[in-house]
Chain A
Amino acid sequence: MDWLTRFPHMDDTTLTALKKSIDEGFRAFTRAYGDRIETFFDPLQYFLIQSERFMTGTPWPIILALIAGIAWFASRSWKIVAGTVITLLLIGFFGMWTDTMKTVSMIFVCTVLSIAIGIPIGILMSRSDRFQGIINPVLDVMQTMPSFVYLIPVVMLLGIGRVPGLIAVVIYAIPPIIRLTNLGIRLVDKDVLEAADAFGSSSWQRLKNVQMPLALPTIMAGINQTIMMALAMVVIASMIGVQGLGQPVLKAIANQYFTLGLFNGLAIVGIAIIFDRISQAYGKRLQKHLETVHA
């Protein structure tokens, strides 16, 4: 009755051999193509470095004014602008300005990349049920697979540094924008689409004039989620060499520096709230036309 108490599994030597051959196969692949793949990601590396250089190299009052300006443009709310400025001043006062700017730069690049990749995929998904059927389980895996697991092959291929960190963050953060782009387009009122067809719209005109503008509030919610998830990855990404607020936290864990961890953690919370309020206020402003005013 041994088979009842112990799960009958593949015998150990075969299992070891299987794992070993997959590992070796991947290692061989890395050796053969690693350099080429690294070159492929060079433009990203350049983008990351430029963005970081801008955020950390520009005098802080200019950056502060710039962020406040963006907050005003997006939200048109003095409260949000004031909250943003005060939070950033506090962060700076507690000596975390440079690390925060590195993190903001990283999040910015991640968000731009996620939008650039995610929205076209979301559009394709909304157009084909079959493509949706393929992509959905992939997104499920991306969201539930522990991030440490896919850090392994990324590090094997690209080593330690900004780009592998960026890829890990994007893998984790991109699903919401894909899903919500798809959903937003699918939820567009069928009557309005029929009207667009009746006037002879081409499928590009339909997308540009009807589907995208009407899906935009939903897509904005996706962008908001993507930013939040990217911030959640900051500490994990710092394990493979991404600089910013994550590294002090990592150091704090290793050495049990409670206050260091707390300060940097709070700084992450602070910029998360800033990003969230700004992007939500912008999303709400996009829906202004839906307010019923006639009486």
Chain B
Amino acid sequence: MLEEDKGTTGITIRNLYKIFGANPKAHIDAVRNGMTKAELNARHGHVLGLRDINIDMPAGHIQVVMGLSGSGKSTLIRHINRLIDPTAGEVLIDGADVVKMNAAELRAFRRHKTAMVFQKFALLPHRTVLENVVYGLEIQGVARAKQLEAARRWIARVGLEGFEDNYPNQLSGGMQQRVGLARALANDAPILLMDEAFSALDPLIRMDMQSVLLDLQKEIRKTVVFITHDLDEALRLGDRIAILRNGQIVQQGTGQDIVMKPADDYIASFVQHVNRGRVIVVEAIMKPGMHDKGAGLPLVPQGTILEHAARIMTERRIGALHVQDADGKPMGYVDMQSIIAAMVTPAGP
């Protein structure tokens, strides 16, 4: 499979701080010693963008960074390819610290290691779809024939065949973002940065684009960093999710962790409106051993969502299911009672 050659580039962010203002270095120690964002702004007129960010983004998976506007999520993603310089901290990719790169190294890094998709598409309006998609390869100095070959392949892959010679303005928002995605993918970089890539799209088209991304990710296995303010989107796409608030990470983990064990009231209030039946999987609420009805019950694989398990039970008019792991070994059972209990939103704080 493709996994071995592409999935080796993880991202490690260590103690990352960003202060906006005239003289950020002067205030870094005060912030390290616990000065709050409000205090820093009131006393020194500097804005705290990010405070002590530590994330390990595993190679070949989708890492979602979620937060509301002003939480610093777009600032954070721009530190990975250093469109924004940090005040302190490290961004380690393939053993190299992006923060310490000089201009030439940084350019080479951006050309070969990362590709980015933007909220407002940021396509070149004077170039056709085809010419937009070749952009990254053109910058790298790849031979023209190869540029075109890759561009046509990715344009077809995102479903835009036949639109190669259109200008971005002639396309709808959803189609424009497909161009943005094709442009990033044509670059063939191991890291894909997506800054609120689907936020500007209509809900239906957004769902559609999420499916396109998940579908593609099964083949390309890139390290995807996906920024969003939408928890449903985060839960659907994210192998791992980090939640950002006021420039700090308040919780990190899988979607399960966040829905089942919200770290604080802030996250709990977010999670309240999630359709839990589509997020929580059977093994999260499974009881060990066999159900007392014994071996007659149907088996479902681990990773089955509660909604699906409940549907099987109602269709077959049974009250419990057995769960098996990837090798087909039984792991435990779930019953209707516990499924309903898990799907009902706990009383809000």
Contacts and interface: CB of A to CB of B under 8 A. Distances in A.
A201 B139 contact: yes
A73 to B, nearest CB: 19
Interface in A119-167: none
A194 B82 CA distance: 11
B107 A289 contact: no
A199 B186 CA distance: 11
Interface stretch (B167-175, B220-228, B284-292, B307-315): B167-175
Contacts of A213: 124, 126
Interface in B174-206: 175, 187, 193
Interface string B110-149: 1110111010101111110000000110111000000000
Interface of B: 81, 83, 106-112, 114-116, 118, 120, 122-127, 135-136, 138-140, 167, 169-172, 175, 187, 193
29 contacts: A191-B118, A192-B122, A192-B123, A192-B124, A195-B118, A195-B124, A197-B83, A198-B81, A198-B83, A198-B110, A198-B115, A199-B115, A200-B106, A200-B107, A200-B109, A200-B111, A200-B136, A200-B139, A200-B140, A201-B107, A202-B107, A205-B139, A209-B124, A209-B135, A209-B138, A213-B126, A214-B126, A290-B125, A294-B175
A194 B122 contact: yes
A289 to B, nearest CB: 4
B136 A293 contact: no
Interface of A: 189, 191-192, 194-195, 197-202, 205, 209-210, 213-214, 289-294
Residue of A194, A199, A214, A293 with highest tally of chain B CB at under 10 A: A199
Given A197-B83, A289-B167, A294 B172 contact: yes
Contacts of A290: 125, 169
Contact of A191 (B81, B109, B122, B170): B122
Residue of A200, A291, A294 with highest tally of chain B CB at under 10 A: A200
B124 A210 contact: yes
Nearest to B120: A191
Contacts of B125: 192, 214, 289-290
A192 B124 CA distance: 7
B316 to A, nearest CB: 49
Nearest to B180: A195
Nearest to A191: B122
* 8 closest cross-chain pairs (CB), A and B: A200-B110, A200-B111, A195-B122, A198-B116, A289-B167, A191-B122, A293-B170, A199-B136
Contacts of A210: 124
Contacts of A201: 107, 139
A195 B111 contact: no
A194 B83 CA distance: 8
A179 B73 CA distance: 38
Nearest to B116: A198
A189 B120 CA distance: 11
Residue of A198, A213, A214, A290 with highest tally of chain B CB at under 10 A: A198
A235 to B, nearest CB: 40
A214 B125 CA distance: 8
B202 to A, nearest CB: 14
A199 B170 contact: no
A216 to B, nearest CB: 8
Contacts of A192: 122-125
Given A191-B122, A197-B83, 11 more contacts: A189-B122, A198-B116, A199-B110, A199-B115, A200-B111, A200-B140, A201-B107, A209-B124, A213-B126, A289-B125, A289-B126
A283 B138 CA distance: 27
B193 to A, nearest CB: 8
Given A199-B139, A200-B139, A294 B171 contact: yes
B58 to A, nearest CB: 22
A195 B175 CA distance: 18
B126 to A, nearest CB: 5
Given A195-B118, A200-B110, A292 B170 contact: yes
A291 B126 CA distance: 11
Contacts of A293: 169-170
Contacts of A198: 81, 83, 110, 114-116, 193
